[in-house]
Amino acid sequence: MRVTTVCHHPSTIPRVRSSLLRHSVVPRAYDSFDDMAIVSVTTATAAAGVLILVVAAGAAAAAGARRHHVVGGDPGWAVASDVLAWSADRLFTVGDTLWFAYSAEDGGVAEVGGEEEFESCDAGSPVRMYTEGLSRVDLGGEGSRYFVSADPDKCGGGLKLRVDVRAPVAGTTPPPGSSRKGDRAAAPAPAPLASSGGRGVATSRTCVMLCCLLFLAI
């Protein structure tokens, strides 16, 4: 079991983090990681102007450990993230989870039924729409899944993602792209959390670790 605490200067907090903070979730230093990670931001530390990042991640003891992928890395679900390049060297397997972080003006994420709708950016009859601002998608079976921006202009600008889900292979290791410099990871909450209502969280140059919650995904 490995525990990592990551601190960031306020000026470097990306747009995706703002979205995650509204759900009491903060990203860590990679955009893919094994098992479950939990990050807590407490009211007391917010009042003191300190951002607490407590990340508890289980080491991949078992072969084919599930992985969590924050789509787009730092910018999140945005044209600027170059989702195509982000996904190019990633391996998605059954049991993995995708996390989409975006702002309301982006219009949300539409999962469409096939390649035709994907290529034409046709979100008129989606399989499912995601509009929460932080959306979790579990990859429960093999095959291709298609996600496009609900905004046709942004989809046309490259904001769409095809995920080819493969069966887990015993003895596989995380793909090289899972810890590329400059990417960020979301530390997922066990379940969707209510918005904080826009309440700001002050940050400072000093991050103080108060507690460590250790979880191991089953």
pLDDT in tens, 120-139: 999 999 999 999 999 999 99
CA 16 – CA 20 distance, rounded (Å): 6
Q: Confirm if 18 and 41 have CB atoms less than 8 A apart.
A: no
Q: What pLDDT does residue 71 have?
A: 96
Q: Which domains does the chain have, with CATH numbers?
A: 2-186 (2.60.40.420)
End-to-end CA distance of the chain: 14
**How confident is the prediction for the chain on average, in pLDDT?**
65
Question: How many CB atoms sit inside 10 A of residue 135's CB?
Answer: 21
Q: What pLDDT does residue 199 have?
A: 31
pTM over 0.75: no
* Better pLDDT: 207 or 117: 117
Can you tell me the mean pLDDT for 76-87?
92
Coil/strand/helix, residue 145: strand
Integer Rg of the chain from CA: 17
Q: Confirm if 2 and 212 have CB atoms less than 8 A apart.
A: no
Beta pairing partners, 128? 111
CA 32 – CA 58 distance, rounded (Å): 13
Lowest mean pLDDT among 62-71, 99-108, 195-204: 195-204
Express each pLDDT in 26-50 by its tens digit: 444 345 554 434 333 333 333 332 2
Can you tell me the mean pLDDT for 144-155?
95
Say if residue 206's pLDDT is above 70.
Answer: no
Say if residue 88's pLDDT is above 80.
Answer: yes
- Percent over 90 (pLDDT), the chain: 41
DSSP single-letter state for residue 134: E
Q: What phi and psi values does residue 144 have, to the nearest 5 degrees? A: -100, 140
> With bands split at pLDDT 50, 70 and 90, how would you rate the model's confidence at 105?
confident
